[in-house]
Amino acid sequence: MEEYAPGDIVEIATDKGLAYVQVTHVHPSYPPVVKFLKGPSATRPDNVTSLAEIREGKMAMVPLGGVLKKLGLSHSKAGEIEIPRAQRQFPTFRMPIRGKQGEIIYWWFWDGQGLTYSPESELTDEQQKMPTREVMSSGRFLEQLLADAG
């Protein structure tokens, strides 16, 4: 199974075309963090690395090699671009803590090392942009990968 490193852009062949993710971070105890890039498209862009230059993008922890194998999707490293200095720190993930009725009581925030929390049930605009702390399933991965498909 091919291992990918931070900065690697992975091209994935789907039935909707070629889709791309970029590995952004690794953690010793969790799957890699990937950023979903724009796609899928019928052909590989002339400059694959330009896909990763867009700052915004959904991020998730994904056992990438295992998920791609389970889905039976052909994949390969299509390029590599250095993670910008401002984005090298491990991202902070959010996790809702729910009450007995399923309502959100407060939020935990995990930065790859420790937890902090907010006693508020509502997130700030900045906190809403944080990825959810979960290991993404293969089904959810494929759904997100194809999210831009028409």
**pLDDT for the residue 21:** 95
pTM, entire model: 0.89
Helix (H, G, I), strand (E, B) or coil at 52: helix
**pLDDT for the residue 117:** 87
- What percentage of residues in the chain have a pLDDT greater than 70? 97
In the numeric block, the tokens 């299509």 are attached to 78
Is the confidence at residue 140, as pLDDT, over 90? Answer: yes
The token duo for 129 is 């942009």
**pLDDT for the residue 17:** 93
Split at pLDDT 50, 70, 90, the class of 148 is: low
Q: How far apart are CA 15 and CA 23, in angstroms?
A: 22
Instruction: With CA atoms as reference, report the closest residue to 119 among 107, 131, 110.
Output: 107
CB atoms within 10 A of CB 25: 19
Is the confidence at residue 149, as pLDDT, over 80? Answer: no
Across the chain, which distance is largest between two alpha carbons, in Å? 52
Q: How far apart are CA 47 and CA 103, in angstroms?
A: 45
State the amino acid at position 97 in one-letter form: I
Q: Which tens digit of pLDDT belongs to each residue from 36-95? A: 998 788 999 888 888 888 767 789 999 999 999 999 999 999 999 999 888 899 999 999
